[in-house]
Structure 1
Amino acid sequence: MTDFDDKKDSGLSQIQSVSPNGEITSTNISRFQAFKDSFKPAPKVEIDMTGMTDVEKAAIQTANSPLARKLKNRHLQMIAIGGSIGTGLFVGSGSALSKGGPASVLLAFIFNGAMIFATTQALGELAVIFPVSGAFSTFSTRFLDPSWGFAMGWNYALQWLVVFPLELVAASITLDYWETSVHPAVWVTIFWIVIVIINFFGVKGYGEAEFLFSLIKVIAVIGFIILGIVLVCGGGPNGGYIGGKYWQDPGAFHNGFKGFCSVLVTAAFSFAGTELVGLAAAETDNPRKHLPTACKQVIWRIALFYIISLTLIGLLVPYNEARLMGSSSVDATASPFVIAITNAGISGLPSVINAVIMIAVLSVGNSSIYGCSRTIASLADQGLAPKILGYIDREGRPLFGIVITSLFGLLAYVCASDKKDDVFNWLLALSGLSSIFTWGSICLCHIRFRRAMNVQGRDKDEIPFKSQVGVIGSWFGFGFNALVLCFTFWTSLFPIGSDPNPEDFFMSYLAVPVVLAFYIIHKLIYKPSIIRAKDMDLITGRREFDIDVLKQEIREEREALAKRNFFYRTYKFWC
Structure 2
Amino acid sequence: MSTQDSSSVAASSTGDNNLKRTLASRHLTMISIGGAIGTGLFVASGESISTAGPGGALIAYTLIGFMVYLLMQSLGEMATYMPVAGSFGEYGTRFISPSFGFAVGWNYWYNWAITVAAELSAAALVMKYWFPDYPGWIWSALFLVILIVMNALSARAYGEGEFWFAIIKVATVIVFLVLGVLTILGIIGGTSPGFKNWTTGDAPFVGGGMGILAIFMVAGFSFQGTEIVGVTAGEADNPSVTVPHAIRTIFWRILLFYIGTIAVIGFLIPYTDPNLLNSDVVNISISPFTLVFERAGIAAAASVMNAVILTSILSAGNSGLYSSTRMLYAMAHNGSAPSFLGRTSKHGVPVNALAVTALVGAACFISSLIGDGAAYTWLVNASGCAGFITWMGIAWSHIKFRQALKAQHFPLEKLPYRAHLYPIGPIIALIMCTVVIIGQNVEALMGHEDMTALLSSYIGIPLFFAIWIIHKLVTKLPKVNPAEADLSVPEQ
Q: TM-score range by the shorter chain?
A: over 0.9
Supply the distance in 2 between the matched residues of 1:500 and 1:414 (Cα, whole angstroms). 26
The equivalent of 1:435 in structure 2 is: 387
Counterparts of 1:53-132 in structure 2, within 5 Å, are 66-132=18-84
The equivalent of 2:349 in structure 1 is: 397
Q: Name the SS for the 1:83 alignment partner.
A: helix
Supply the distance in 2 between the matched residues of 1:443 and 1:373 (Cα, whole angstroms). 23
**Distance change >3 Å, CA 312–CA 383, structure 1 → 2:** same
Contact persistence 1:492–1:509 (CA under 8 A): no
Q: What are structure 2's unaligned runs of at least 5 residues?
A: 1-8
Amino acid aligned to 1:269: F
The equivalent of 2:125 in structure 1 is: 173
Give CA-to-partner distance per residue, 1:394-421, whole Å, 9 cap, x none: 221111211012222323345655523x
Aligned-pair CA distance for 1:363 = 0.3
Give CA-to-partner distance per residue, 1:317-354, whole Å, 9 cap, x none: 22222223337566424532123334566442232122
Counterparts of 1:241-320 in structure 2, within 5 Å, are 241-250=192-201, 251-320=203-272
The equivalent of 2:457 in structure 1 is: 508
Contact persistence 1:140–1:148 (CA under 8 A): yes
Contact persistence 1:129–1:542 (CA under 8 A): no
The equivalent of 2:309 in structure 1 is: 357
Q: Name the SS for the 1:470 alignment partner.
A: coil
**Distance change >3 Å, CA 416–CA 98, structure 1 → 2:** same
The equivalent of 1:564 in structure 2 is: none
Supply the distance in 2 between the matched residues of 1:229 and 1:133 (Cα, whole angstroms). 42
Q: What are structure 1's unaligned runs of at least 5 residues?
A: 1-41, 48-60, 544-575
Is 1:536 paired with 2:485? yes
The equivalent of 2:5 in structure 1 is: none
Which structure has more relative contact order (CA 8 Å, sep 6+)? It is 2
Counterparts of 1:489-508 in structure 2, within 5 Å, are 490-494=442-446, 499-508=448-457
From 501, 515, 525, give the equivalent of 2:474: 525
The equivalent of 1:25 in structure 2 is: none
Supply the distance in 2 between the matched residues of 1:197 and 1:277 (Cα, whole angstroms). 21
Q: Percent identity?
A: 35
**Distance change >3 Å, CA 150–CA 489, structure 1 → 2:** farther
The equivalent of 2:433 in structure 1 is: 481
Amino acid aligned to 2:245: T
**Distance change >3 Å, CA 522–CA 221, structure 1 → 2:** same
Supply the distance in 1 between the matched residues of 2:282 and 2:39 (Cα, whole angstroms). 7
Amino acid aligned to 1:501: D
Is 1:462 paired with 2:414? yes
**Distance change >3 Å, CA 431–CA 419, structure 1 → 2:** same
Give CA-to-partner distance per residue, 1:422-466, whole Å, 9 cap, x none: 343212112101111111111111111112222222211110111
The equivalent of 1:184 in structure 2 is: 136
The equivalent of 2:173 in structure 1 is: 221
Q: Name the SS for the 2:43 alignment partner.
A: helix
Supply the distance in 2 between the matched residues of 1:126 and 1:331 (Cα, whole angstroms). 42
Is 1:410 paired with 2:362? yes
- Please report the TM-score for the alignment, with normalisation by the length of structure 1: 0.80
Supply the distance in 2 between the matched residues of 1:542 and 1:492 (Cα, whole angstroms). 49
**Distance change >3 Å, CA 263–CA 280, structure 1 → 2:** same
Structure of greater Rg? 1
The equivalent of 2:85 in structure 1 is: 133
Counterparts of 1:358-377 in structure 2, within 5 Å, are 358-377=310-329
Is 1:151 paired with 2:103? yes
Aligned-pair CA distance for 1:315 = 1.7
**Distance change >3 Å, CA 490–CA 72, structure 1 → 2:** same
